[in-house]
């Protein structure tokens, strides 16, 4: 599977293209060498044969037919290995002289150059060999064949052909291997960038792409991306800082305004004016509540470690919250169910946890229509204490599940319902302090409405571990102080 995806990368395709070009060049080069070598060898043989023919022709001109036959007999006697081949016959193919016994089969009617096999049918006694010859007619009706054994030559050609085939095979294999290795090292580096990007997209904005320190193009790309991320973080912090400052700075004047309105409310007799002032006070209270929520979240995010962490029974805490919200749920005639195991303990801040749990139950009731169902559960799953709320409400589309934890973010459908979009931001901040992981899923996947299930997994409290950690804290007080200092100095306005 991994190999398959490797083959699909653009780097590998590039390497493949390179390999094809490379292999074609090698093939052309070898083919050219072969063509030149083989051509040269054939030309040499032909030249030798031509030279012999020239010699024989001279003899024939000087001494006639008998002279020709004599010289051929002499030559045959002198060349026992029979590299040169001769045959003189009458025009009806009766042998007169030569070291072949008969005319090669199928070549009787031919003229000029022929290629044939030396075998028994023409009086050859050794193993079969390849030969090349020239045939022509001599005046007076005689036929003459002059040739050479070219078997060694053909064998040599075969060796060269074999070498070319092997050469091509090895070239292809090496090119394929090289292409694969090059593309793999490139793909690996791109994959590191991809992995980091995915982590960042899933919310871990502090992740950075590792560099190799070679300052090559990949390092430069990674550096640029990292700097871009730093910049984004810086800008985001800035925006958050501004919104927190606004909330902080407007809170006092707003409180003063609200109190003045309340005083007015008490002092006027006019019923209408009193009602209007009452509504204005309620609006101001709502605004103050939003500011307070915003500041609470900001404080949690920057000073999370200042939370009052103690062993808490998550089960009892959730039961208490349920008790508080059951009435609200009853009003909507919802079916409210709780499966809470009271022994489940975690280490945390009771007040913060209560706010977190309340916000989630509140959302479930708010976003589930009348006569819907809500189930609240607390249980342990391995080392995790899990708090889960499952409702049968409108749910959150998958594309927006990542965004609902942002401040003021509300899913389109729910904008008509009261709320600011700060509840889940607070939940996320509290969960973070408790090393909690939030999982969002559809209660009824594929159905409409899908409902929503939110589960928060936090480490279970184990007394032994707590003791160990306190011991560590005592041994390492300096490290702890170090960790707290920058957080405390960053957002002083929240004090
Ligand atoms: N149980 C749920 N079912 C469906 N949608 C939900 C659920 N919980 C939250 N949401 C969606 O997520 C958005 C953000 O929730 P959040 O609790 O942060 O804000 P809110 O409930 O709108 O306002 P607030 O909690 O500040 O009063 C909601 O506006 C809603 O669209
Ligand atoms: Mg809410």
User: Which numbered ligand comes closest to the C-alpha of 372?
Assistant: 1
Positions in the chain short of pLDDT 50: 1, 478-495
User: pLDDT value at position 476?
Assistant: 56
pLDDT digit string, tens, across residues 192-247:
999 999 988 877 788 899 998 888 888 999 999 999 999 998 998 888 888 888 88
- Rounded Cα distance, 133 and 155, in Å: 18
In the chain, the domains with their CATH numbers are 2-155 (3.30.450), 208-302+463-495 (no CATH), 309-461 (3.30.565.10)
Residues with CB under 6 A from ligand 1: 359, 363-364, 367, 391, 393-396, 404, 409-411, 414, 419-425, 452
CA distance 86 to 145: 6
Ligand 2 centroid vs 436 CA: distance in angstroms? 19
Give CA angle at 314 (309, 315), nearest 5°.
160
Q: Which atom of ligand 1 is nearest to the CA of 364?
A: 1
pLDDT at 299: 83
pLDDT of residue 473: 61
**CA distances (Å), 330 to each of 333, 355, 359, 373, in order?**
5, 21, 17, 11
Predicted pLDDT of residue 367: 95
Predicted local confidence at residue 323, as pLDDT = 95
Distance of CA 145 to the CA centre of its chain: 72
Ligand closest in space to the Cα of 449: 1
**Ligand 1 centroid to 362 CA: how many Å?**
9
As residues whose CB is below 5 A from the ion ligand 2, the structure lists: 363, 423
Closest residue to atom 25 of ligand 1, CA basis: 423
Query: Could you count the other beta carbons within 10 Å of the beta carbon of residue 17?
Result: 11
Ligand 1 test: best mutation among 423, 429, 431, most atoms within 8 Å of CB?
423
pLDDT at 65: 83
- Name the CA radius of gyration of the chain, rounded: 48
- Between the CA of 333 and the centroid of ligand 2 the distance, in Å, is 20
Using most ligand atoms within 8 A of CB, pick from 296, 394, 412, 424 the residue to mutate for ligand 1: 424
Task: Say if CB 148 and CB 48 are below 8 A apart.
Answer: yes
Ligand 1 atom, smallest distance to 290 CA: 26
* Ordered strands of the 142-149 beta sheet: 95-98, 84-89, 142-149, 129-138, 112-118
Q: Which residue's C-alpha comes closest to atom 29 of ligand 1? A: 410
CA atoms of 197 and 179, how far apart (whole Å)? 27
Question: Partners of 385 in the beta sheet?
Answer: 380, 458
Beta strands in 314-436 (DSSP E): 335-340, 345-348, 373-381, 384-391
pLDDT at 466: 53
- Strand, helix or coil for residue 213: coil
Predicted TM-score of the model (pTM): 0.56
Give residue 226's pLDDT: 94
The pLDDT, as a whole number, for residue 248 is: 85
Closest alpha carbon to 418 in 244, 290, 256: 290
Measured in Å, how far apart are the chain's first and last C-alpha atoms?
55
pLDDT, position 484: 40
Residue 245's pLDDT is 87
250 C-alpha to center of ligand 2: Å?
23
Phi and psi torsions of 458, nearest 5°: -125, 155
Quote the ligand 2 centre to 329 CA distance (angstroms): 15
Tell me, in angstroms, the distance from the centre of ligand 2 to residue 365's CA.
10
What count of other Cβ atoms lies within 10 Å of the Cβ of residue 137?
A: 11
């Amino acid at each position: 599977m991994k190999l398959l995806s490797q083959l699909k990368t653009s780097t590998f395709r590039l390497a493949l293209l390179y390999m094809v070009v490379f292999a074609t060049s090698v093939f052309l080069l070898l083919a050219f060498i072969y063509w030149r070598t083989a051509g040269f060898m054939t030309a040499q043989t032909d030249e030798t044969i031509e030279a012999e023919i020239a010699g024989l022709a001279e003899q024939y001109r000087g001494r006639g037919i008998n002279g020709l036959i004599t010289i051929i007999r002499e030559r045959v006697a002198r060349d026992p290995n029979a590299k040169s081949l001769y045959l003189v016959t009458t025009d009806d193919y009766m042998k007169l002289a030569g070291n072949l016994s008969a005319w090669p089969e199928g070549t009787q009617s031919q003229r000029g150059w022929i290629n044939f096999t030396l075998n028994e049918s023409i009086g050859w006694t050794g193993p079969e060999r390849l030969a090349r010859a020239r045939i022509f007619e001599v005046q007076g009706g005689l036929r003459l064949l002059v040739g050479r054994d070219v078997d060694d030559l053909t064998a040599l050609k075969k060796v060269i052909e074999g070498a070319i085939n092997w050469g091509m095979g090895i070239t292809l294999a090496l090119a394929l291997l090289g292409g694969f290795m090059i593309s793999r090292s490139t793909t690996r580096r791109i994959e590191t960038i991809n992995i980091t990007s995915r982590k960042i997209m899933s919310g871990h904005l502090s992740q950075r792409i590792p560099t190799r320190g070679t300052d090559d193009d990949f390092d430069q790309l990674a550096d640029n991306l990292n700097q871009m991320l730093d910049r984004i973080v810086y800008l985001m912090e800035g925006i958050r800082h501004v919104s927190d400052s606004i909330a902080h700075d407007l809170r006092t004047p707003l409180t003063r305004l609200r109190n003045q309105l309340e005083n007015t409310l008490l002092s006027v007799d006019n019923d209408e004016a009193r009602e209007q002032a009452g509504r204005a006070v309620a609006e101001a209270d709502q605004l103050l509540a939003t500011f307070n929520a915003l500041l609470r979240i900001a404080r949690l995010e920057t000073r999370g470690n200042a939370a009052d962490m103690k062993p808490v029974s998550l089960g009892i805490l959730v039961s208490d919250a349920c008790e508080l919200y059951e009435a609200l749920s009853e009003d909507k005639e919802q079916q409210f169910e709780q499966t809470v195991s009271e022994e489940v303990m975690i280490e945390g801040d009771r007040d913060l946890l209560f706010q977190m749990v309340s916000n989630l139950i509140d959302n479930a009731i708010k976003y589930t229509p009348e006569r819907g169902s809500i189930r609240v559960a607390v249980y342990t799953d391995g080392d995790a204490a899990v708090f889960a709320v499952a409702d049968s409400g409108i749910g959150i589309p998958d594309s927006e599940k990542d965004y609902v934890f942002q401040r003021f973010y509300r899913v389109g459908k729910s904008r008509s319902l009261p709320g600011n979009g700060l509840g889940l931001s607070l939940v996320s901040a509290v969960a973070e302090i408790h090393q909690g992981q939030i999982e969002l899923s559809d209660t009824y996947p594929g159905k409409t409405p899908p409902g929503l299930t939110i589960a928060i997994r936090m480490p279970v409290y184990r007394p032994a571990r707590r003791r160990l950690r306190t011991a560590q804290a005592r041994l390492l007080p300096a490290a702890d102080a170090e960790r707290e200092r920058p957080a405390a100095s960053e957002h002083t306005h929240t004090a």
